[in-house]
Structure 1
Amino acid sequence: MIPVAEARARILATFGPLPAETVALPDALGRVLAEPVVARLTQPPFDAAAMDGWAVRADDIARAQPGSPVALRRIGESAAGHAFAGTVGPGEAVRIFTGAPVPAGADAVVMQEDCEADDGHVRVGRAVAAGRFIRSAGFDFTARQELIPRGRRLTARDVALAAGANIPWLSVHRRPRVAVLATGDEIALPGEPLGPSQIVSTNALGLCALAVAEGAIALNLGIARDTAESLAALAAGAAGCDLLVTTGGAAAGDYDLVRDVLADKGVTLAVQSTAMRPGKALMFGRANGVPLLGLPGNPVSSGVTGLIFLRPILRVLQGLPPDEPGGPHHARLGAPLRANDRREDYLRATLSRTADGELVATPFPRQDSAITSLYARADCLVVRPPHAPPAEAGERVTIIPLSGGCLSV
């Protein structure tokens, strides 16, 4: 067995960002930029009103007070999309609305609440300084300004910003294509009749969902039976993919065939087992020229190893760092833990907060790798290093939050 950090390093060293492709802006949510977004225009392109009110010359109303208003002659109107074409001269004002261009000659906007108007005049009851309630041209951004850096996964806010910068197309990294293959005579698809010794397959669907949540395209190859012929035939469906993920069959039992049947002959496996719990039975190599990640068959082991190994692979393929920024994350233990053995533990836990807002991670009493209901309820994984001493409630521990993905707003 090799340490988790070493296994991750060996695996990730074989991957790099996928080539770029061009996508229409409406299809860019969740994609990772291969090139930065650079504004094609200045926003706003003109001095614009920040309030509904009156465009004036600040000097004309310098003495205005609520009880002693200054009367100005109204000469027109400026609305969004319909600018006033003239010039504001001494003693004049233009009715203006939020977002409308400030007319030439005016250097301030007075809120409509501070004014009274009739057909020919407006009485301004408050003085304002030059520039008040005006958003100057370029207030938001200017043409040729870099707005979003390469390597960022695009959120809904980013899409809106790119639209405002007049950009209809974006260069993004191609989405990884991931083939997922479950193995074993003992599993059946959800909804299928179950034999007397069978259980429902969950791993492939969970791993496909993880891949999609991380921005990949997932291809479920189905269930390979415990024969070399079935395994090889279904695995052939991974041709052209960027990664083949198998679940089950990666250990050393009589029916664990992934290593012997799929691994390319003459290619040394980079990883054959990992010192972690859950998830010892892990392998990484190549199958028919496609990178092969073999994960365990126990459902929680499959899910946890997917988080620790599959997720960072998918991030690297999309031009992202292996892990989310801002880590590592920490919390206080909500219950004591006994000493750990030589394997790195990933304990499923819930999260809560103390009265002062500090995070508390409480591991479930049962940590069996077949209890999928508790894994679904977990908020995080508590990471316990190999040979960690006993820990008391309240001690600080490292956690991996079970959240995130490509659809952040």
Structure 2
Amino acid sequence: MTRPGADVATDPAVLKAAHTPPLSLPEAQARLLALAPLVPTEQRPVDDCRGYYLCHDLTARRTQPAAPLSAMDGFALRSGDLPGPWCIVGESAAGRPFDRSLGTGEAVRISTGAVVPPDADMVLIKEDATVEGVRVHLTGMAPDPTERHIRPRGMDFGQHKLLLSAGTRLGPAQIALAIAAGHETLTVRRALDLVVIDSGDELAVPGTSLLPHQIPASNGPMLAAMAASQPVRIRRIGPVPDRLDALTDAFAQAAGADLIVTSGGASVGDHDLLRPALEAAGATIDFWRVGIKPGKPLMVARRGAQLILGLPGNPAASFVTGFLFMLPLMRASLGAAEPLPRTTTALLAEPMTAGGSRQEFLRAHWDGRLVTLDSLQDSGALGPLARANALVVRDARSPAVPAGGEVPVYLLDFG
């Protein structure tokens, strides 16, 4: 363990770790997700489950529709009576079905969503019919097949059918499906308790007067906004100065959280105190450094059931590692079946040079077909992040790609 107050840059444990080859992105993500602490479950009203993940498979408690329904406005009748005419004997409206079976030569007016009367097997749409008094005549084309405009019983789902698998994220359509299937509550994992800590002597509280050597602390709000795309309760601490006692105190304040995410202090400089502060707070370092750019000095530690994710301080590095590590970790802890983001492919608007020694994530803008790399890729720049809606993946030592070539991209959607 590093001694409190020791010179971090010359500490033997730090130097040894610094010379250990960094993990690849897949290795680091797999290792991190294996550590993900599952938060406890709870029952929530279905209409209050947006963004949560199902803990169990969802099956239908009822059949939808429970009876054959008309898909169009028109007339319900017996196809055996074609070509008509038919005598109109009543009406079936949505929520107010016709109260008996149809007899030979009879028809009922029917509206979209209304129950098709027993013995009726055809809906003649208004456009193909003419009404004279109480009689309806076929003046257009009969439906082919005759049941074309009828939604059969169980068309959407039948009772006991598997509708959604465990780990599915609940959005508007999934919530509607669960309610239609007869569910009032669902078992999900409760919101994750997250503490975000900003650290660095150069950081000042946003909105305060700045000295020339200071910058507003923007990483904490950025990471909190990113995390807010998941079910989470967020508390922010900082900015915390580069002092071992201040960082240790911040970790003490966050003792009850499921997850702590820090920004800054994860490298090996004289003022990068995250590692000794974690050890002083009783945490154990699990792994450190990932072979990506930006974001190499990523650190993961455990303190009991609590996980601590140390992200770099440069804003682009903090953003990229938040996207690639913080969000997947949160999703895994909340029970997501697929916690990792997926890449898609896009065509380069301009040529891309060959890759360097690390896998890179380049800030870019995708217009739905072509992706354009931002001209500024410095990890300290926020402008490219604000302009970007995608990260282009450039693998280590990959060859140059010409304009029009396909590249893998992550789309930055935090909905």
TM-score by length of 2: 0.87
Give the conservation status (yes or no) of the 8 Å contact 1:77–1:94.
yes
Q: 1:333 aligns with which of 348, 368, 379?
A: 348
1:370 aligned to which of 372, 375, 380: 380
- Helix, strand or coil for the counterpart of 1:252? coil
Distance 1:193 1:59, change over 3 A: same
> Which residues of 2 match residues 50-199 of structure 1 at below 5 A?
50-61=71-82, 64=83, 70-126=84-140, 127-128=142-143, 130-199=146-215
**Structure 1 SS opposite 2:173:** helix
One-letter code aligned to 2:22 = I
Asked if 1:322 is matched to 2:339, the reply is yes
1:351 corresponding residue in structure 2: 366
CA distance in 1, matches of 2:102, 2:164: 39
| RMSD between aligned residues | 2.3
How far did 1:130 drift?
4.3
Task: Provide the rounded CA distance (Å) in 1 between the counterparts of 2:401 and 2:106.
Answer: 76
- 2-side partners of 1:103 and 1:400: how far apart? 52
Checking the alignment, whether the CA contact within 8 Å between 1:263 and 1:285 is kept in structure 2 is no
Instruction: Tell me whether 298-307 or 259-268 shows the greater mean CA deviation.
Output: 259-268
Offset of residue 241 of structure 1: 1.6
* Residue number in structure 1 paired with 2:69: 48
Distance in structure 2 (CA, Å) of the matches to 1:372 and 1:124: 68
Shift of the 231–138 alpha-carbon distance from structure 1 to 2, 3 Å rule, reads same
Q: 1:280 to 1:247 in 2, by over 3 A?
A: same
Residue 362 of structure 1, CA deviation = 2.9
Q: CA deviation at 1:216?
A: 3.1
Of all paired residues, the percent bearing the same amino acid is: 38
The 8 Å contact of residues 250 and 281 in structure 1, kept in 2 or not, is answered as yes
**Aligned residue-pair number:** 391
Answer whether contact 1:43 1:139 (CA < 8 A) is retained: yes
Question: Conserved in 2, the CA contact under 8 Å of 1:343 and 1:386?
Answer: yes
**Structure 2, gaps ≥5 residues long:** 1-20
Cα offset, 1:391, TM superposition = 4.3
1:297 aligns with 2:318: no
1:117 positional shift: 2.8
Taking a change above 3 Å as real, the CA distance of residues 248 and 163 of structure 1, as seen in their structure-2 partners, is same
Is residue 385 from structure 1 mapped to residue 395 from structure 2 by the alignment? yes
How many Å apart are 1:339 and its aligned residue?
A: 4.2
Q: State the shift of 1:242 in Å.
A: 1.6
Segments ≥4 residues shifted beyond 6 Å: none
Unaligned runs of 5+ in 1: 65-69, 354-358
TM-score (norm 1): 0.88
Larger CA deviation: 104-113 vs 198-207: 104-113
Contact 1:183 1:225 in 2 (8 A): yes
1:49·1:134 contact (CA, 8 Å) conserved in 2? yes
Once the two structures are superposed, what CA deviation does each residue of 1:13-54 show, in whole Å capped at 9, x if it has no partner? 212543332110111111111112211111111122222211
Using the alignment, how far apart are the partners of 1:379 and 1:81 within structure 2? Answer: 46
C-alpha distance after superposition, 1:338-368 (max 9, x if no partner):
4443222222222246xxxxx4333223211
1:192-232 CA-to-partner distances (Å, cap 9, x unmatched) read: 22234211111001111111114433221232122223222
Aligned residue number for residue 251 of structure 1: 267
Deviation of 1:118 after TM superposition, in Å, equals 4.6
Compute the displacement of 1:161 (Å): 1.4
CA shift digits 1:256-312 (9 cap, x unpaired): 221111236786522222222212222111247521111111111111111121122
Query: Contact (CA 8 Å) 2:248, 2:281: kept in 1 or not?
Result: no
Distance in 1 (CA, whole Å) between partners of 2:151 and 2:158 is 13
- Residues 55/376 of structure 1: CA separation in 2 closer, same or farther (3 Å cut): same
Residue in 2 that maps onto 1:67: none
